[in-house]
Chains A and B, each alone.
Chain A
Amino acid sequence: MNTSRRQAGKALTAIALAATGLGASTLALAQGSGPIKVGILHSLSGTMAISETVLKDVALMAIEEINAKGGVLGRKLEPVVVDPASNWPLFAERAKQLISQDKVAVTFGCWTSVSRKSVLPVFEGSNALLFYPVQYEGEELSANVFYTGAAPNQQAIPAVEYLMSKDGGSAKRFVLLGTDYVYPRTTNKILRAFLKSKGIPDSDIMEEYTPFGHSDYQTIIANIKRFAGAGKKTAVVSTINGDSNVPFYKELGNQGLKATDVPVVAFSVGEEELRGVDTKPLVGHLAAWNYFMSLKNPANDEFTKKWAAYAKAKNIAGHKDKPLTNDPMEATYIGINMWAQAVAKAKTTDVDKVRAAMIGQTFRAPNGFMATMDPSHHLQRPVFIGEVRADGQFNVVWKTKGPVAADPWSDFIPENKGKKNVPVMAKK
């Protein structure tokens, strides 16, 4: 009895040891031969699925493309797709699963900032890499994240500057409208400080928030109308995220609020979100991005054609008949390619070495400009402002002369004084 128990104990220890050994050997395997696993962490269901599903597809396309060219370091990439279902705690859980169970070398994922905040401790705690492809509010700089979307000075601030310019309608009053979470609240905090620096008083700024998945925009549109009726040119800055945009724009069109009266500039609405919305009443409303599908240049032609062919081949719902590309798709595409380049340069998938190799990587982006990864872990990107066309595409009405470097610690927030745009390594 006693001995058998002891034996059992020994056996357990042996198993545990073997398991650790196995773990170590798979780790070695991840560094050695066999396919390199790549995690894809995007909501495929829930309120964010409208935006995120297609990012998963474009990531798979990029991986397939890299594999067709022989992979990285002579090894194929193997995607591991998980669905965090627009559920923020689930994002952290799935991220943990990708890192510790699937042992992925890198993860591409997240859209909302609240999901990114949720997975951040996981990536920092186990020193893993996340590529985040969406414009966001800044105020964060992790050594474990590469931000391929826009920081506020690469999207929000140029957009508001445009609204205040003569061509943008010389707006003097602003409605800051958003979904109730960290990205809209922080962006609006920065915008408020920015507007103040431009001499707009607080009384000329209205801030409104709605819950995720909100679908009744009657009151908000009525409030906007009332606010706009109190004199001076008014513009709306929308940071509404996810599928709430569809009822918002439907109501906007139905209530007859035209872009020539009150233009709405959106930061999370692109070609994909406007699919299925009747865009004829929305002509002239604006969006600010670093990429639009309608851009005309050889790199974009190639990208859109590739996507159309891929969507058709994979029978992707919606896209097989009407292929659309948008900014976060482009950012995902750039991110994966840059990571592959960095791995090739570092000759390993080791996180610390890849991180060092990432800085200074360049890639000919589909928007026609060279994207460069700065030491700030952000890309240098040009900014475009587009107006909605009747066919749901955007006409570029304004753009920066060239790529703009990111400023994640916005100077418009007083606490950021003296903070450098270089990530500080998380303490272990």
Chain B
Amino acid sequence: MAQGSWRRVGQGRRSLGTWLLTLLLAALALLATLAHGPAHALTPEQALKIAEGDSDERIAALAQALSAGADQADPALGPFVEALLADEVKLAGGRVFIVQGDAARDAATGQAAPLPEGAEDVVNNNRIRRALEAARSALQLFSSDAAERSRAIDGLKDGADEALLPLIDRAMAAEREPGLKDKLEQLRAAVMVSASDPAKRLQAAQLLGESGQPATRALLLERLGVEDDAGVKAALTASLAAVESRLAWGERLGVLFSGLSLGSILLLVALGLAITYGLMGVINMAHGELMMIGAYATFLVQNLFRQFAPGLFDAYVLVAIPASFVAAALVGALMERTVIRWLYGRPLETLLATWGISLILMQTVRSIFGAQNVAVENPSWLSGGLQVLPNLTLPWNRLFILLFAALVLVGVALLISRTRLGLFVRGVTQNRRMASCVGVNTARVDTYAFALGAGIAGLAGCALSQVGNVGPDLGQGYIVDSFMVVVLGGVGQLAGTVYAGLGLGVLNKLLEGWQGAVLAKIMVLVLIVLFIQKRPQGIFALKGRSAD
């Protein structure tokens, strides 16, 4: 009776008679509640039952607390469920406490209470957590905040069953937002598709075809297995095809994005090499270790922020970017000044010398920071992801790297083509003696160019620290990849590096989705070997006099 009256209030019938009747009913309901004591109030016993015991019993107790309808549950239930989900509930002496920070209060009454000694944590397993999440969603279905209601509907999507039907009906009746009403309609259909009446099943099956949710596909597949009515079966099949075609887009875009993301990482690690190897012709085997230095610089900046400015921790990446560039560029300049400058034009010796340097760098880092990986935490704005489609989430850290790679690429392109330094670098690499004749200090330009390449490797290291592990061996895993990209793209060509990096990334991810990570790696390598056999100069070859 009480439920009926609330529903009518919710629907807001306009005639005066109905209003009066509703008011009367509401008053009666209120009286009844007062007379019988708090009918749906959360008693300490109930709270204890929800918090302690067998999973089955706890879920039953939770269902009982909600049985009167989520819109009429005790106001203490919502915070209690939230606290359970946040692992903030403790048990002591048969009483249930919500503990937030140092303050403890009784879960049922909400009154502050001192926490007794030896209070035990309430442990929830996944099943209970799922039940709690469903309960939270049910409670929020009648929230005044539209966003909260929307979340609540999403939360109920997976666990919808017959028992929820009255609740959904009431929420639908109360719902004003057309978008949310559609979502509720979908939710209702997900329940009705298992109804006993074939006509209702048919209607629900048709309605579900409008969904783009992975959960709907799972539901439709499940129903197809048990459905025996031919008409409903046809509708289910049609809906499934519609849902799958919608989901397929998410999957395709997902593969493309993961390929681009890998490609952007390859591009970043190869960009520095495109300058040191591509333009200057130095086979720099220590390129990976320069990345490692960039990553460790990021680690150090992170630690400094944690120690001295914990409030600004989220901003550490912004400081780490220039820091990693400078650190790697300094090491690069030192390498060039002390070793590499004596070895120009002697590729074999350069290869050996830089390989030696790479070992020295690795061992130095190992001695300073230890052989184990160090932990670089993502700032909170690089954690989580952006939900684009129901089945496509783009992680923030990968989006950030994609953007970062693009910015670095533009920066390098501008630097090489538009600045005086770029002009000198191009001049020196194309014709060293001529450049020298017209007054370019070629030795200094070499140092600057090498330091630039090294600095970009440092930037790549900073980016890598956000997706992978940071350890002394970080560079080893990327050195082969970066040479592959530069050689494939064509030595001496920035554009070639871009195409090769992104192309290899997408190709790798396509093959990986098809054949698994281990085989994909092998296949990519074989393809590159074949390609280089056919076309040793890479995708883009320099033409004209500067080609040799």
Contact = CB atoms under 8 A, between A and B. Distances in A.
A1 B376 CA distance: 70
Interface in A234-291: 243, 246-247, 250-251, 253-256, 259-261, 263, 275-278, 281, 283-284, 286
B517 A397 contact: no
B258 A278 contact: no
A260 B159 CA distance: 11
A81 interface: no
B55 A255 contact: no
B473 A46 contact: yes
A362 to B, nearest CB: 30
Contacts of A284: 125-126, 129
Interface in A189-237: 208-211, 213-216, 218-220, 222-223, 225-226, 228-232
A390 interface: yes
A36 B55 CA distance: 52
A387 B121 CA distance: 14
A397 B254 CA distance: 35
Contacts of B517: 208-211, 214, 219-220
Nearest to B247: A229
A218 B516 contact: no
Contacts of A389: 87
A35 interface: no
A53 interface: yes
Interface string B151-167: 00000001000000000
A53 B372 CA distance: 8
Interface in B477-523: 477, 509, 512-513, 516-518, 521
A229 B218 contact: yes
A208 B125 contact: no
A232 B468 contact: no
A158 interface: no
B509 to A, nearest CB: 6
Contact of A222 (B221, B258, B377, B383): B258
Contacts of A251: 395
Interface stretch (A24-32, A60-68, A166-174, A302-310): A166-174
B261 A218 contact: yes
Given A45-B472, A231-B217, A397 B125 contact: yes
Contacts of A226: 251, 391
Contacts of B56: 166
B94 interface: no
A90 interface: no
Chain B, interface residues (CB within 8 Å), range: 35 or more
A296 to B, nearest CB: 9
B366 interface: yes
A50 interface: yes
A219 B512 contact: yes
Interface in B326-381: 366, 370-378
B384 A276 contact: no
A396 B121 CA distance: 12
Contacts of B262: 216, 218
B518 A209 contact: yes
A254 B513 contact: no
Interface in B217-233: 217-219, 221-222, 225
Main secondary structure, interface of B, reads: helix
A425 interface: no
Contacts, number: 162
Contacts of B513: 219, 222-223
A219 B255 contact: yes
B273 to A, nearest CB: 19
B436 interface: no
A339 to B, nearest CB: 27
Interface string B55-67: 1100000000000
B375 A275 contact: yes
A404 interface: no
A49 interface: yes
A398 B406 CA distance: 49
Given A53-B371, A256-B384, A256-B387, A397 B473 contact: no
A260 B371 contact: no
A127 interface: no
Main secondary structure of the interface of A (DSSP, over half): loop
B383 A166 contact: no
A139 interface: no
Interface residues of A, number: 63
Nearest to B521: A211
Contacts of A222: 251, 254-255, 258, 513
Contacts of A259: 126, 129
Contact of B467 (A180, A247, A263, A398): A247
A220 B374 CA distance: 25
Interface in A374-413: 387, 389-390, 395-398
Contact of B125 (A47, A167, A223, A247): A167
B448 interface: no
Interface in A27-60: 44-47, 49-50, 53
Most buried by A among B371, B396, B473: B371
B397 interface: yes
A317 interface: yes
Nearest to A261: B158
Contacts of A317: 370, 372
Nearest to A390: B87
A45 B467 contact: no
A396 B87 CA distance: 14
Contacts of A225: 214, 391
Contacts of B372: 49-50, 53, 317-318
B275 to A, nearest CB: 25
B535 interface: no
A243 B373 contact: yes
Contacts of A278: 377-378, 383
B468 A49 contact: no
Contacts of A232: 218, 222
B360 to A, nearest CB: 15
A387 B467 CA distance: 24
Interface in A286-302: 286
A210 B518 contact: yes
- Most chain B CB atoms below 10 A, which of A44, A208, A222, A259: A222
Given A49-B371, A230-B218, A243-B471, A169 B127 contact: yes
B123 A397 contact: yes
Interface in B62-88: 87
A246 B396 CA distance: 17
B218 to A, nearest CB: 4
Interface string A166-186: 111100000000001000000
A380 B374 CA distance: 35
Contacts of B391: 225-226, 229
From B262, B397, B473, residue with most partner A Cβ within 10 Å: B473
A96 B280 CA distance: 46
B126 A169 contact: yes
Given A250-B378, A281-B384, A213 B477 contact: yes
Contact of A243 (B87, B385, B469): B469
A390 B378 CA distance: 16
Given A222-B251, A398-B125, 9 more contacts: A46-B371, A218-B257, A229-B215, A230-B218, A231-B217, A250-B467, A254-B396, A256-B384, A387-B125
Which A-B residue pairs are the 5 nearest by beta carbons?
A: A276-B375, A254-B395, A231-B221, A229-B214, A218-B258
Interface of B: 55-56, 87, 121, 123, 125-127, 129-130, 133, 158, 214-215, 217-219, 221-222, 225, 247, 251, 254-255, 257-258, 261-262, 366, 370-378, 383-385, 387, 391, 393, 395-398, 467-469, 471-473, 477, 509, 512-513, 516-518, 521
23 contacts: A50-B372, A53-B372, A167-B125, A169-B130, A208-B517, A210-B518, A211-B517, A211-B518, A218-B262, A218-B509, A219-B258, A222-B255, A226-B251, A229-B391, A255-B385, A256-B384, A260-B129, A275-B375, A276-B376, A278-B377, A387-B123, A397-B123, A398-B125
